[in-house]
Chain A
Amino acid sequence: MEWLSAMNPAEGLQDALRWIVLFPLFGAAVNGLLGKRLGRANVHLVACGAVFASFVISAIALYTVSFGDVSRITDQWWRWFSIGNVPVEMSLTIDRLSAVMMCVVTGVGFLIHIFSTEYMSHDEGYWRYFAYLNLFVAAMSLLVLGSNLLVMFVGWEGVGLASYLLIGFWYTDDAKAFAGRKAFVVNRVGDFGFLLGIFTLVGLFGTIEFEQLKALSASITPDTVLEAGIFSGWTLGAAITMACLFLFLGATGKSAQLPLYVWLPDAMAGPTPVSALIHAATMVTAGVYMVARLSFLYAWSPTAMATVAVVGALTAIFAALMAYAQNDIKKVLAYSTVSQLGFMFIGVGVGAWWAAIYHLVTHAFFKACLFLGSGSVMHAMRDETDIRLFGGLRKEMWHTWATFGISTIAITGVLPLSGFFSKDAILHGAHANPNLFFPWVPTFTYAIGLVAALSTSFYMWRMFNLTFHGERRGMLEHRAHEGGNAMVGPLWVLAGLAVGSLVWGLPLSGGARFENFLKPVFRAADENIARMTALGAQKLGVPVPPPPAHDFAAMLPGYLIALVVALIGFGIAWYLYLGPGKDIPAKIAQGAPALYRAFANKFYVDEFYQAVIVAPLSATARFLWRVVDAFAIDKLVVNGSAVLTGWIAQLFRYFQDGNVQRYAVVMAVSAVVILWIFLG
């Protein structure tokens, strides 16, 4: 161990960072190219080993940036290309934010790999599955580690690809293949925004490096009217707002926010561990991560911040409502994920950066645990997902019941598990952070957030109760059985993490641990917010509001409210599905069928998109092809001119009728005409 202490980890890490990406990438390559011949054991050895190796490096990096003497390590890989004079470096940077993310990604990823070795053991595409999973980890690492927007974008699209491949993993089912495609395309809509955001920053600042942007952001004056470049005539603030909003469009795609959330519920078509890893714990949080990364820029744009917060709040409540009437265990979790992501966006939207990231982390733990638990249930119940058929599974699957229960407590925000602290940190931020420019935003987001929390509590407990308690309602002849160690182990580890991560969120005096831990990362953002607030106060002629307090005393009222809300949700769910009110749901469904159908059909949003975007688009395409392309351009103009020429030719041809005297007449007349012209 002597060599380890002799080594300066910061120096070694400069060249080791790339291996976080490369290990899983090689794993994907090996499994993808040779996996068929390797045999199952070797396949998951390679895959899990690769992810574990990445996890080790990430952990060392986290340790280094936390306790070492550097706060940021950059691995300069190679110069990718240049946008004109703007160089695009393929370089990776790890700081505390990305280190935490990386540990979550590779750690949870590793657990899910382990889980999958049993869950997927009977699938013939075993090697393919692990190749895709490793590809995902590689891409996600690139997304997190990228030290500029473009490297991030590489990972951004890379995870999209992995997600596409994994959702459509069972591609022989057309619906699943479609779900994969839908995910990719909807994400592309977001990517379109992301791209435009990058372009805006290129045009505005001439750089896409996070560090340079951060340095630049310190000296911004939003009211400056720009004179040069493509934004001449704009104010700097407007241009930044434009960039932020475009980037946020990208985030709504990747993180399944309104209006682009529609792909995520369908994404449940993939294998359940995939849903756990990609569509709950890691990939979908990329949008939050990106906004947090660029927090120093968002800080200068109150409009963008408000948009982020409001969209997050609306998504949180909207998705929660949709989860009410879902009977598919994975769909409920999916809507729950959308809803929780909404919470995170409220966090970044109101400037509670650390809270959002904290919620991201805890959510990764408990939601991964929930998804794996649901996978465990499905594994036991012959891949059935309809919770109406379950019930009383507690007796058959104790481990699953226990871990699922712990995670449900965590997610519903019941004291004292991690979810409680993370969610309340966000709600507190929403409530306490002043907003000079949009004064209604704090109240609005807080109120909506509470309702969403209530809903969360309700639908989660509903699902939990229906699945594990009561009596079995369907599949009566089938006996469920708990999975093996490879499945139970990760469940317990995740459940443990969901509990243990609460220590970071305890409201100590001077702020939570996690808050202080991330303070260096978000210092620029906080300062920018302070500057912006000062400028705003000056402009509006009001005093600068004091910064909100974070200690226990300040947070206590919020805690109490949140706890009450969570318990109410629990109570309703108990009453309606386990307690005496068991027939009420059916009565509601009968009494207000339209309302029930609206809930059950997810408020017809998919149908709306189909009618407003997809159908007109393909109708336009067909119209353009048949009428404009094939008929107007090709037939009428192109071939028409040829046909017309042919007709004229046929017509002229009959002048040539073989009579020599007629020829002579024509010649004579022509000669006379020429004579006439010459003489006249």
Chain B
Amino acid sequence: MGSVPLAHYLALGSALFAVGFAALLVRRNALVVFMGVELMLNAANMTFLAFSRAHQTMSGQAAAFFVIAVAAAEAAVGLAIMIALVRNRNTLNVDEVDTLKY
């Protein structure tokens, strides 16, 4: 692993970020959209860890844990909201959730 340069990790991180981004923007299923967000968070994690290693500081590793914990909490609340959404409208299609507008 030591031979993998920093740039690769960063590239991977940004690729992840971009994929998550794309999922967020184009997928219609709310769950998948949310997974896109999770991907983006993980991209951040990736970047943290890469820099942490590059700079030889441990705080980046700790940051990753923070992010993971927060993501978990977010998922819990988010999934609850989606359940409520499904109950009310019987759909998870993002396009159909647009009664509030203008």
Contact = CB atoms under 8 A, between A and B. Distances in A.
Direct contact between the two chains A and B in their complex (CB within 8 A): yes
A657 B100 CA distance: 8
B97 A657 contact: no
Contact of B25 (A653, A656, A658, A661): A661
A661 B33 contact: yes
B101 A656 contact: yes
B21 A658 contact: no
A659 B25 contact: no
Contacts of A668: 21, 24-25
A3 interface: no
A664 B33 CA distance: 11
Nearest to B99: A658
Nearest to B96: A659
A612 interface: no
A654 interface: yes
A679 to B, nearest CB: 14
A1 interface: no
A664 B21 CA distance: 9
A656 B97 contact: no
A664 B97 CA distance: 14
Contacts of A653: 102
A658 B101 contact: yes
Interface in A639-667: 653-654, 656-661, 664-665
Nearest to B33: A661
A659 to B, nearest CB: 5
Contacts of A661: 24-26, 28, 33, 94-95
Contacts of A659: 94-95, 98, 101
Given A664-B24, A664-B25, A665-B25, A657 B94 contact: no
Nearest to B22: A668
B49 to A, nearest CB: 22
Interface of A: prevailing SS: helix
A673 to B, nearest CB: 15
> Which has the most chain B C-beta neighbours within 10 Å: A656, A657, A660?
A660
Interface in A561-576: none
Interface size class of A (residues with CB under 8 A): 10 to 19
Nearest to A659: B98
Interface size class of B (residues with CB under 8 A): 10 to 19
Interface in B68-102: 94-95, 97-102
Given A665-B25, A668-B21, A668-B25, A660 B102 contact: no
B94 A660 contact: yes
A660 B97 contact: yes
Contacts of A664: 24-25
Contacts of A658: 97-102
Nearest to A655: B102
Nearest to B28: A661
Contacts of B98: 657-660
A656 B102 contact: yes
Nearest to A660: B94
Interface string A184-228: 000000000000000000000000000000000000000000000
A87 B2 CA distance: 104
A664 to B, nearest CB: 6
A661 B33 CA distance: 9
Contacts of B25: 661, 664-665, 668
A656 B100 CA distance: 9
Contacts of A654: 102
Contacts of A656: 101-102
A653 B26 CA distance: 23
B75 to A, nearest CB: 18
Interface in B1-28: 21, 24-26, 28
Nearest to B21: A668
Interface string A538-558: 000000000000000000000
B9 to A, nearest CB: 20
B68 to A, nearest CB: 23
A160 B100 CA distance: 73
B19 to A, nearest CB: 13
B101 A657 contact: yes
A657 B33 CA distance: 19
A657 B96 CA distance: 12
A658 B97 CA distance: 8
Contacts of B95: 659, 661
A668 B94 CA distance: 17
Contacts of B97: 658, 660
A676 to B, nearest CB: 15
A430 to B, nearest CB: 89
Interface in A611-661: 653-654, 656-661
Interface string B33-69: 1000000000000000000000000000000000000
Interface in A440-457: none
Interface string A241-282: 000000000000000000000000000000000000000000
> Which has the most chain B C-beta neighbours within 10 Å: A653, A659, A661, A665?
A661
Contacts of B28: 661
A401 to B, nearest CB: 94
Nearest to B101: A658
Contacts of A657: 98, 101-102
Nearest to B98: A658
B3 to A, nearest CB: 29
A663 to B, nearest CB: 10
Contacts of B101: 656-659
A661 B28 CA distance: 8
A158 B102 CA distance: 68
A650 to B, nearest CB: 10
Contacts of B100: 658
A51 to B, nearest CB: 82
Interface in A401-450: none
Contacts of A660: 94, 97-98
A665 B33 CA distance: 13
A665 B21 CA distance: 10
B13 to A, nearest CB: 15
B41 to A, nearest CB: 15
Contacts of B94: 659-661
A651 to B, nearest CB: 12
Interface of A: 653-654, 656-661, 664-665, 668
Interface of B: 21, 24-26, 28, 33, 94-95, 97-102
13 contacts: A653-B102, A656-B101, A657-B101, A658-B97, A658-B101, A659-B94, A660-B97, A660-B98, A661-B94, A664-B24, A664-B25, A668-B21, A668-B25
List of 3 A-B pairs having minimum Cβ-Cβ separation, nearest first: A658-B101, A658-B98, A659-B98
Given A658-B99, A659-B101, 14 more contacts: A653-B102, A656-B102, A658-B100, A659-B94, A659-B95, A660-B94, A661-B24, A661-B25, A661-B26, A661-B28, A661-B95, A664-B24, A664-B25, A668-B24
